[in-house]
């Protein structure tokens, strides 16, 4: 049997292109190697500059959840209040992290598929004194994007003393955010819109966040204490925990590709790709979970069309046979649809291959779409690019 790689269309990890794979396959060197130290230093400096950060950028081994905990651990202390703005499964994940930390937790929830407004956040923050708030830029369970820029504008005007933590795991590198909007801690990880394999967390902390960390003295957490890592980020010849050498090279190559494309163009490309991709799926009868005005450019949840007869597990198994890996829905959406990423280092061929596979899987599962209908819409969109 001819085995070709399946398209990795889950919302992370995303497809890893050959030049990044090549970095992971390099001969590993000592983390004290002069060439590696220079590579690591350059990578951190570039991340900091590109995201317009006046504090420090961090790159360390771990997943997005670790970065969530790192953010909370370094800028809050037991007894302080935090407002969690949640529009899905990953927003809710902050509740446990903050409660375990001994913070006073309030949650502003938006119905799945929708998002909260800056006005709602303003009203909540006006009720008591908060040290920080968390915003999930794109919740991977709903495919909805929070109005981050507008939230930043509101905070600057109305609540300048409250520190803003942004979970940009399913956004950074695919949906726009800059630290100088007024973000205090922003984080993501390697396997999403950066298009690198899983394994690294990247976090940016503003000067204000670093000052808050300093004011806390010794914190209970050790591995991801900013104070432990700042000396390493500024001079990677220093040691706190062993850096994952090959992953750091892989991220450096990922960032090189991003710079070659240009971050602004990359964000614009994600918006264009998402629009044509969703239009193609809609032509096949699928509907997104996120309302049109809140749709994220990085991933979508597609609900099965009513009366299509499509059953989640067999459909996704057939889709995998046809060459595309997809993800099941989470929480309240489980079984009602499936999730597809459209972020990172993907191109027209990937989108065409994905829609073609979806069409075949539909027909093979008994949902008689007109073959080529989704592809036609996609192709018409792609030739306009």
Residues that bind ligand PLP (CB under 6 A): 12, 63-65, 68, 90, 136, 139-140, 167, 169-170, 189
Residue of minimal Cβ distance to ligand PLP: 64
> Which residue, 136 or 273, has its beta carbon nearer to ligand PLP?
136
Q: Which is nearer to ligand PLP, 250 or 310 (CB)?
A: 250
Q: Are 194 and 254 in contact (CB under 8 A)?
A: yes
From the CB of 296, what's the least distance to ligand PLP, in Å? 10
- The dihedral over CA atoms of 216, 217, 222, 225, expressed in degrees to the nearest 10, equals 60
Cβ 335 vs Cβ 312: under 8 Å? yes
CA separation for the pair 68, 221 (Å, rounded): 13
Cβ closer to ligand PLP: 7 or 189?
A: 189
CA triplet 57, 97, 336: central angle to 5 degrees? 100
Least gap, CB of 293 to ligand PLP (angstroms): 20
Whether the bond into 30 is cis, omega within 30 of 0: no
How many Å apart are CA 36 and CA 38, to the nearest integer? 5
Give the shortest CB-6-to-ligand PLP separation in angstroms: 19
**CB 328 to ligand PLP: min, Å:** 13
Min dist. Cβ of residue 211 to ligand PLP (A): 26
Q: List the beta strands (DSSP E) in the chain.
A: 7-8, 56-61, 81-86, 104-109, 132-136, 138-139, 144-145, 163-167, 185-189, 200-205, 287-288, 299-303, 324-325, 327-328, 337-341
Give the shortest CB-246-to-ligand PLP separation in angstroms. 18
Q: Measured from the CB atom, is 191 or 354 closer to ligand PLP?
A: 191
| Residue closer to ligand PLP (CB basis): 171 or 365 | 171
Give whichever of 57 and 296 is closer to ligand PLP, judged by the CB atom. 296
Distance CA 258, CA 260 (A): 5
Task: Measure the CA–CA gap between 175 and 68, rounded to whole angstroms.
Answer: 18
Q: Looking at beta carbons only, is 12 or 285 nearer to ligand PLP?
A: 12
Q: Which is nearer to ligand PLP, 88 or 285 (CB)?
A: 88
CB of 109 to ligand PLP, least distance (A): 16
Q: Which residue has the tokens 């959840």?
A: 65
Closest distance to ligand PLP from the beta carbon of 260 (Å) = 26
Cβ nearer to ligand PLP, comparing 63 with 237: 63
Tokens of 358: 């979806």
Q: Which is nearer to ligand PLP, 39 or 167 (CB)?
A: 167
245 membership: H or E segment, kind and range: helix 245-261
Q: Which residues make beta-bridge pairs with 306?
A: none
Buried b (16+ CB within 10 A) or exposed e, 122-151: eebbeeeebbbbbbbbbbbbbbbbbbbeeb
Report the C-alpha gap between 42 and 233 in whole angstroms. 10
For residue 66, the minimal CB distance to ligand PLP (Å) is: 7
CA separation for the pair 51, 185 (Å, rounded): 11
The least distance separating ligand PLP from the CB of residue 60, rounded to whole angstroms, comes to: 13
Among 362, 358, 345, 369, CA closest to 18 = 345
């Amino acid at each position: 049997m001819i085995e070709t790689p399946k398209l990795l269309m889950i919302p992370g990890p995303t497809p890893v292109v050959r030049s990044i794979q090549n970095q992971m396959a390099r001969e590993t060197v000592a983390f004290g190697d002069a060439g590696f130290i220079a590579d690591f230093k350059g990578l951190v400096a570039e991340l900091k500059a590109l995201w317009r950060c006046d504090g420090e950028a961090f790159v360390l081994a771990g997943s997005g959840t670790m970065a969530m905990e790192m953010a909370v651990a370094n800028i809050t202390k037991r007894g302080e209040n935090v407002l969690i703005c949640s529009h899905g499964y990953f927003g809710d994940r902050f509740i446990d992290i903050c409660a375990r930390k001994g913070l006073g937790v309030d949650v502003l929830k938006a119905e799945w598929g929708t998002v909260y407004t800056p006005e709602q956040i303003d009203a909540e923050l006006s009720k008591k004194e908060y040290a920080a708030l968390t915003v999930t830029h794109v919740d991977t369970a709903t495919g909805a994007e929070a109005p981050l820029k507008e939230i930043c504008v509101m905070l600057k005007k109305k609540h300048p003393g409250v520190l803003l933590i942004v979970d940009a795991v399913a956004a950074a590198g695919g949906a726009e955010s800059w630290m100088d909007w007024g973000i205090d801690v922003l984080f993501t990880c390697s396997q999403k819109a950066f298009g690198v394999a899983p394994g690294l967390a990247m976090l940016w902390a503003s000067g204000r966040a670093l000052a808050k960390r300093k004011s806390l003295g010794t914190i209970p957490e050790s591995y991801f204490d900013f104070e432990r890592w700042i000396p390493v980020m500024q001079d990677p010849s220093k040691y706190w925990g062993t850096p994952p050498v090959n992953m750091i090279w892989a991220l450096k190559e990922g960032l090189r590709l991003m710079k070659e494309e240009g971050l602004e163009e990359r964000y614009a490309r994600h918006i264009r790709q998402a629009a044509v991709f969703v239009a193609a799926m809609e032509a096949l009868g699928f509907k997104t979970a996120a309302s049109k005005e809140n749709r994220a450019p990085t991933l979508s949840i597609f609900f099965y069309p009513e009366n299509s007869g499509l059953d989640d597990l067999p459909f996704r198994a057939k889709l995998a046979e046809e060459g595309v890996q997809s993800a099941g829905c989470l929480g309240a959406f489980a079984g009602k649809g499936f999730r597809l990423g459209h972020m990172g280092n993907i191109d027209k061929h990937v989108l065409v291959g994905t829609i073609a596979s979806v069409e075949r899987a539909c027909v093979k599962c008994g949902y008689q779409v007109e073959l080529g209908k989704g592809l036609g819409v996609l192709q018409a969109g792609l030739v306009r690019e």
